[in-house]
């Protein structure tokens, strides 16, 4: 048997054998120890008589397998994470008893111990194929089934699943499979849950532990009362209680918005949101019980960008209840149908149903910039990506699947019209309720409501890779009147596809009375082919700034005419609309990383923007991209001077910022990322912030900001290992342990880097979050002398990582440990040699390596551009 990496062909073959109805009776014993748990599964299914297939299961031990009343030898039928089932009947029952392992990596059933109070918390994470880490299952999305769950747990715990509990009873006399086993020293409860509707296995879920809980109800649009609940760890309960009512309100607004927009009320029996520790994703759309990373429980001050992102995340997962859960993809090549739609519609809901009205500016600066970066890598792929096996799926949770797809859907809404678009979505959801669907099914419904032929649109937008660039050319008379305006569309040679766009061209001028740059005119049109004349522009006065893709209606790179470029560079901070600023800023950032705009001018333009920007996510990304530019893209001979300039300017911006503002908080945090060893002024400022000798009105030095300062001091060797440990002892929590690991790893010494490298690779006791903190700290110290020794080691270690780690941990290590501050020419050379010698390596592995090497290749090219200026 080929093992755990299920291929698309194998899934299709199994789908042709296994037939509905499929029903699972799953019983879990969570009382047998700290390392493993008992798993008992009875699976009832139909099949083609005489055929053979297999169940998926990752387990330490399989003690019994019974197929249609016949006991099978586990040693013969269980291998390579599969249980072979031969000579099936029309109706079949298979029983599997196993001992499965808790994870500390966020995969399967994760077990976390809170150091602040010793409480144990369990939660499941089953996407892509990790239900098989908990029970025997046909673990593919198109083999939908119904599920009955029973869970034996300590009496003090609560247990939640996809459905409401049918009963909770004391249970201390026998194990779940019915064999007698007295447990006189343990008091337990057996939780039995109502049967689920038909659903995919990766959407099933179990959470257990002494979670704090809050409850309310929602009056659903179909007349039902839907119970709602939120949960978190006890140690976070005080902080979370401040936000629970707000998050319930956001969720209820989401219920109402989606039901109205799609004409389909929320379809499930309840809706829980459970905030869980050490999560390896943002959140997961388990039916009726969403899991969310508990870094979204805010004990310390956070940016407005993160507060808004929490709202978008809540609404993203809620959107999945319809799109992904109610109707599910048949295979992972349509993963984008889930994620792109949820990303698009959660941004729409955030902008129109909550107080975060600038959500589309947030989307442009954050999500769309992620898409543009991903789409310009050698590993770019179509939105409808070819998925040959599960490994292909893992790497496609990326900026194309989420952000490019969402941006393209936004463009499609304008292309077909909003009313017709959502009528098509309503019809799609109704037709395929509780079943599986494909892209063709969706496009068919949208064609029927819009009257447009979407096959050609889909072929160019969804089935081809790459991104276009649209550039304006203006001819004008001496008196400033436009004679002609032409938009030219280009595509990279390797993805030479020109696409149809629905976009707007904005005219912007400086209003002398207010000092703001305001829009004075707007032209909306269809753009297709290489050149498109903007006929409506002829005869209009030429504006100071001509903005292609005003309002960010389509997915494209844009460029400026020369006069607009100069004006936008000088006046970006004066543009009065957040979305327009985001579109302009993103274009300048794209030009900078393409080696078309000088790095130092981008830095200075960004500093001017930061003095005025009010949209938190644009602010956040501007800071991040300025850091990348200053550390990597400026000419090597100018790097130290530019970094000192940025640090000094940021400190002055902190002084000038409004006390207690989001800008002040972000600027102070950013300043602490520019420390260099031996910089006495920086060390004094950082220590002063920690002691209170340096203070800014409104800037609170709370727990998380304290650790930001500690991290900054450690990076310049002004904070010892003993100091870090002493800081942790003041308040040892899950989060502070992670901060401490990161602070030890970020220290600017060879010994600290050797320790971090060893811990990340060899300490299997680290949770996924602790491992990521160590890896981040290892790579974050911006000193080439510390990174250089690991350039060769990195490529020598890749194969070992891939062989010995789960995919999620391999991804964290291969991305986190990449020594990006080493000489980019060396990294490119070593990377090319590794790739040349690993032509037969797994595609998913090669993709991780290719993307890291591509970042170094870009750094090398852009740095050379700036050195040549």
| Strands 78-79, 82-85: pairing kind | antiparallel
DSSP state of 629: I
Tokens of residue 138, six digits = 């046909």
**Tokens for 90?**
């029309």
SS3 assignment, position 474: strand
405 burial class (0-12, 13-18, 19+ CB within 10 angstroms)?
buried
Decide: 743 and 719 in contact? Cβ < 8 Å.
yes
**H helix and E strand count, the chain:** 30, 29
Cα–Cα separations (whole angstroms), residue 123 to 17, 278, 368: 32, 10, 31
Measure the CA–CA gap between 783 and 772, rounded to whole angstroms. Answer: 20
Helix (H) or strand (E) holding 159: strand 158-161
Catalytic one among 278, 299, 308, 317? 317
Contacts of residue 456, defined as CB under 8 A and 6 or more positions apart, other chains included, come to none
Rounded CA-CA distance 164/663 in Å is: 44
**850 torsion bin: left (phi>0), alpha (psi -120 to 50), beta (else):** alpha
Distance of CA 557 to the CA centre of its chain: 23
Helix (H, G, I), strand (E, B) or coil at 281: coil
Cα radius of gyration rounded to whole Å, the chain: 28
What CA–CA distance (Å, rounded) separates 282 from 254? 18
Q: Which two tokens stand for residue 647?
A: 């640090």
How far apart (Å, rounded) are the C-alpha atoms in residues 283 and 286?
A: 9
Cβ-proximal residues to 865 (8 Å cutoff; 6+ apart), any chain: 595
Please list, residue by residue across 523-535, b when 16 or more beta carbons sit within 10 angstroms of its beta carbon and e when fewer do: bebebeeeebebe
Whether 598 and 629 have beta carbons less than 8 Å apart is answered as no
Distance between CA atoms of residues 37 and 12, nearest Å: 32
Distance in angstroms (rounded) separating the CA atoms of residues 720 and 714: 7
Q: Which residues pair with 47 in a beta bridge?
A: 18
Q: How would you label 272-295 residue by residue, b for 16+ Cβ within 10 Å and e otherwise?
A: bbbbbbbbbebbbbbbbbbbbbbb
φ, ψ of residue 64 in degrees (nearest 5): -160, 140
Encode burial over 106-137: b for 16+ CB neighbours within 10 A, e otherwise: bbbbbbbebebeebbbbbbbbbbbbbbbbbbb
Its sign, for the CA torsion 358, 362, 363, 369, is: positive
Residue where the block lists tokens 């918390």: 121
DSSP category for residue 69: T
Record the tokens describing residue 92, joined without a space. Answer: 């079949």
Angle (CA) 746-750-756 rounded to 5° is 50
Strands 225-232 and 271-276, bridge-based pairing = parallel
Strand, helix or coil for residue 724: helix
Question: Tokens 């703001």 belong to which residue?
Answer: 516
Catalytic, 317? Answer yes
The residue assigned the tokens 């379809």 is 267
Q: How far apart are CA 861 and CA 596, in angstroms?
A: 11
Torsion from C-alpha of 550, 553, 557, 562, nearest 10 degrees? -20
Q: Check: CB of residue 257 under 8 Å from CB of residue 288.
A: no
Q: Is 39 left (phi over 0), alpha (psi -120 to 50) or beta?
A: beta
Residues tagged active-site: 317
């Amino acid at each position: 048997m080929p093992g755990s990496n299920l291929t698309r062909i194998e899934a299709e073959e199994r789908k042709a054998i296994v037939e509905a109805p499929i029903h699972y009776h799953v019983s879990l014993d969570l009382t047998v120890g700290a390392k493993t748990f008992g798993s008992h599964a009875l699976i009832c299914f139909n099949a083609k008589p005489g055929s053979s297939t297999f169940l998926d299961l990752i387990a330490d031990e399989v003690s019994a397998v019974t197929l249609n009343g016949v006991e099978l030898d586990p040693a013969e039928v269980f291998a390579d994470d599969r249980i072979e089932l031969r000579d099936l009947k029309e109706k079949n029952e298979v029983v599997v008893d196993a001992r499965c392992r808790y994870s500390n990596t966020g995969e399967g059933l994760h077990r976390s111990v809170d150091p602040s109070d010793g409480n144990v918390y369990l939660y499941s994470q089953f996407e892509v194929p990790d239900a098989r880490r908990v029970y025997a299952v046909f673990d593919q999305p198109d083999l939908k089934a119904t599920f009955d769950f029973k869970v034996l747990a300590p009496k003090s715990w609560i247990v939640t699943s996809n459905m409401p509990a049918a009963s909770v009873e004391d249970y201390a006399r026998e194990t779940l499979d019915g064999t007698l086993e007295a447990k006189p020293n343990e008091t337990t409860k057996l939780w039995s849950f109502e049967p689920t509707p038909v659903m995919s296995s990766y959407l099933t879920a179990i959470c257990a532990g002494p979670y704090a809980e809050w409850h309310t109800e929602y009056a659903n649009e179909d007349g039902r009362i839907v119970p709602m609940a939120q949960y978190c760890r006890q140690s976070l309960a005080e902080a979370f209680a401040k936000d629970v009512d707000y998050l319930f309100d956001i969720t209820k607004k989401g219920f109402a918005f989606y039901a109205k927009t799609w004409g389909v009320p929320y379809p499930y029996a309840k809706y829980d949101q459970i905030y869980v520790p050490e999560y390896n994703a943002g959140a997961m759309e388990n039916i009726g019980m969403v899991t969310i990373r508990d870094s979204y429980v805010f004990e310390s001050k956070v940016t407005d960008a993160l507060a808004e992102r929490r709202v978008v995340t809540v609404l993203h997962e809620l959107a999945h209840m319809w799109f992904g859960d109610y109707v599910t993809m048949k295979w992972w090549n349509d993963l984008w149908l889930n994620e792109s739609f949820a990303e698009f519609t959660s941004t729409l809901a955030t902008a129109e149903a909550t107080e975060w009205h600038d959500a589309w500016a947030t989307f442009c600066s954050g999500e769309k910039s992620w898409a543009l970066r991903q789409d310009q890598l050698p590993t770019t792929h179509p939105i409808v990506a070819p998925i040959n096996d599960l490994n292909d799926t893992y790497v496609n949770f990326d900026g194309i699947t989420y952000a490019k797809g969402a941006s393209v859907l936004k463009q499609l809404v304008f292309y077909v019209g909003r009313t017709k678009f959502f009528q098509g979505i309503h019809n799609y959801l109704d037709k395929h309720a509780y079943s599986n669907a494909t892209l063709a099914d969706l496009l068919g419904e949208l064609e029927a409501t819009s009257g447009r032929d979407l096959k050609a649109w889909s072929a160019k937008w969804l089935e081809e890779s790459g991104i276009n660039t649209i550039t304006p050319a203006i001819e004008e008379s001496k008196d400033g009147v436009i004679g002609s305006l032409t938009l030219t569309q280009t595509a990279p040679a390797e993805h030479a596809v020109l696409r149809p766009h629905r976009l707007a061209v904005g005219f912007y001028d400086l209003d002398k009375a207010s000092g703001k740059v305001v829009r004075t005119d707007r032209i909306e049109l269809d753009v297709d082919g290489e050149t498109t004349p903007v006929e409506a522009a002829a005869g209009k006065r030429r504006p100071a700034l001509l903005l292609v893709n005003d309002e960010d209606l389509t997915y494209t790179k844009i460029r400026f005419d020369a006069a607009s470029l100069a004006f936008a560079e000088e006046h970006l901070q004066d543009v009065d609309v957040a979305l327009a600023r985001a579109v302009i800023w993103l274009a300048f950032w794209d030009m900078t990383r393409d080696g078309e705009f000088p790095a130092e001018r981008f830095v200075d333009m960004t500093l001017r923007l930061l003095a005025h920007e009010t949209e938190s996510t644009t602010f956040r990304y501007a800071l991040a991209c300025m850091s990348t530019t200053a550390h990597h893209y400026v000419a090597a001979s100018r790097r130290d001077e530019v970094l000192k300039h940025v640090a000094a300017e940021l400190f002055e911006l902190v002084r000038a910022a409004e006390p207690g503002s989001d800008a002040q908080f972000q600027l102070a945090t950013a300043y602490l990322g520019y420390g260099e060893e031996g910089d006495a002024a920086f060390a004094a400022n950082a220590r002063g912030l920690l002691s209170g000798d340096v203070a800014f009105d409104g800037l609170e030095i709370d727990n998380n900001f304290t650790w930001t300062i500690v991290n900054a001091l450690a990076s310049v060797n002004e904070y010892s290992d003993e100091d870090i440990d002493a800081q942790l002892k003041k308040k040892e929590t899950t989060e502070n342990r992670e901060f401490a690991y990161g602070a030890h790893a970020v220290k600017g010494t060879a010994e600290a880097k050797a320790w971090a490298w060893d811990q990340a690779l060899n300490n299997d006791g680290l949770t996924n979050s602790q491992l990521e903190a160590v890896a981040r700290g290892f790579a974050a110290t911006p000193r080439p002398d510390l990174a250089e020794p690991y350039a060769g080691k990195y490529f020598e270690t890749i194969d070992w990582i891939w062989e010995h780690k789960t995919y999620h941990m391999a991804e964290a290590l291969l991305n986190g440990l990449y020594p990006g501050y080493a000489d980019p020419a060396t990294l490119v050379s070593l990377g090319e040699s590794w790739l040349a010698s690993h032509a037969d390596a797994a595609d998913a592995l090669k993709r991780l390596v290719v993307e890291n090497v591509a970042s170094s290749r870009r750094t090398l090219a852009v740095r050379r551009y700036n050195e040549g200026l």
